[in-house]
Structure 1
Amino acid sequence: MTRTHLSLLSVAALVTLTAFALPDYAVASFSNMTPGGTINGWQSLNLGNAPESRYTLVRDGGTTVVRGQADASASGLVRRFDIDTNRYPLLSWRWKADDVIQGGNINSRGGDDYPARIYVLFDYDPADLSFGDRVKYRALRALGYDEIPVRAISYVWANRASETRPVANAYTDWVQMIPVESGSANVGTWRNERRDVAADYRAVFGEEPPAIAGIAIMSDADNTGNSATAYFGDIRLSTR
């Protein structure tokens, strides 16, 4: 086979791969929305009896983003969907925090507040829980908790520079916390983040990831009783 034939085959193979490449999945296209308008496709995500945080479409950095404001409050916005984690493992987003939360501590319930979180919710069957966890799950349902994430990763803007390693949530190890930004060094500036969700899930849960069932954004400051403001840009999932 001549060198010309090999080159033509290489070009043909590249065209074929490009044709079958999966497009990114747009989780959030806030930049296409109108400041002050409705955050289409997203629903409120409430946590117990805590007051609700406020979410508003605003103009910042030349584009439309969501501003989250927490005043001794804790709630988020969630978009629900179903997508194969191994097929779309890469999560990318932009965010900015005005400041970290004084008194925030990733290792304590009283400090479980963050100016910005990105929750990844997984479609995990409660029947696959251990016996003890199934008992806990049924008890929570009996107490009126309808939306119980039995598997979730919370990517957080941690409040302390020393908080850099993944840890279980202070309330439940069903939610694993992964600091992406830590401390105040980068507050006030937009940060572009990218995480391999499938790899992170395997690392923190020690099992293969189920499908992604939704993504949530959140600013919360209910445990410390403080305030926080953060901004969230577009979010997308992509292939490798």
Structure 2
Amino acid sequence: MSSIRSSKTVAGLAIILLLVVAGAATVHPDVLTIGAFSSASAQQITPTGWERITFGKIDVETEYNLVRAPDDSTVVLRATSDGGASGLVTRRRIDPNEYPILRWRWRVSNVLEDGNARTKDGDDYAARIYVTFDHDLGIGGRIKRTALKALGYDDIPSRALNYVWANQVDAGQIFPSAYTDWVMMIPVRSGSSDTGRWVTEQRNILEDYRRAFGEDPPAVTGIAIMTDTDNTGGKTTAYYGDIISVQR
């Protein structure tokens, strides 16, 4: 009898172990899908799990639609901007230590000739992806945020990395936004040499945050997409493919 009980105990422990392992795999997959545009319907306007970001003093919004890609049947997100600005955001809490790699693909029709990432008048981009973080502002920061909201900025990240397809600045640099040092600009592509074709990007947000802010990052709170032309008065179209976050 004791041997039977022992065998059952071992079997029971084995089952528990398998359940724990299976549960861990479910909670911590190798890949987190942030923007599953390819599995959406081309008839949708806003992707599931995403919401619009608008700016109080900008009347013209960027138009976002899920469409078939120009060169194949894959569903992608198209952004068309003609002198306006707005964005889309998905609220996701992600540990950058566990998922440091952000990967996406994008395509733009043209860069903005008057775009300049270092000036407010030139702060427009054919395509950009924000990563926002759960940073404690402190009293001074909260006062600053209140002042910015009074000026019409409704959705202001306390810390963010802004990956952009730029013009007039070299790719690979990191520098503060022309509007606030809460947002650090990272041109991952610059100029017109790759316009009109799909380009896949991969960034280590853990390392980029350390370089940008000189400290380890808090949790990611969201990912945002924006194509904007309100400062330069230009016009452009961008396509965004699926966005994923990957473990080391």
> What TM-score do the two structures reach when normalised by structure 2?
0.83
Aligned counterparts of 2:38 and 2:146: Cα–Cα separation in 1: 41
Q: Deviations over 1:159-214 (max 9, x none)?
A: 23645411110011100000011100100010000000010000001111011100
Match of 2:121 in 1: 110
For 2:31, which of 24, 39, 60 is the aligned residue? 24
Alignment gaps of 5+ in structure 2: 1-20
Match of 1:69 in 2: 80
Q: Does 1:56 align with 2:65?
A: yes
Cα pair distance change 1:141/1:188, threshold 3 Å: closer
Q: CA deviation at 1:147?
A: 2.3
Q: Deviations over 1:129-167 (max 9, x none)?
A: 7x4x44323433555644221100110001236454111
Match of 1:6 in 2: none
Match of 1:209 in 2: 217
Aligned counterparts of 1:174 and 1:113: Cα–Cα separation in 2: 18
Aligned to 1:218, what secondary structure does the other structure show?
A: strand
For 1:88, which of 72, 95, 99 is the aligned residue? 99
Q: Deviations over 1:86-137 (max 9, x none)?
A: 111100000001100020011110000000000101111222x7x4x44323
> What TM-score do the two structures reach when normalised by structure 1?
0.86
Match of 1:11 in 2: none
Equivalent positions of 1:181-196 (< 5 A) are: 181-196=189-204
Alignment gaps of 5+ in structure 1: 1-15
Kindly indicate whether the alpha-carbon contact (under 8 Å) linking 1:94 and 1:191 is maintained by their aligned counterparts in 2.
yes
Aligned to 2:88, what secondary structure does the other structure show?
A: strand
Q: Match for 2:227: what amino acid? A: S
Kindly indicate whether the alpha-carbon contact (under 8 Å) linking 1:168 and 1:176 is maintained by their aligned counterparts in 2.
yes
Q: Which moved more, 1:220-229 or 1:140-149?
A: 140-149
Aligned counterparts of 2:87 and 2:174: Cα–Cα separation in 1: 21
Kindly indicate whether the alpha-carbon contact (under 8 Å) linking 2:174 and 2:187 is maintained by their aligned counterparts in 1.
yes
Q: Percent identity?
A: 48
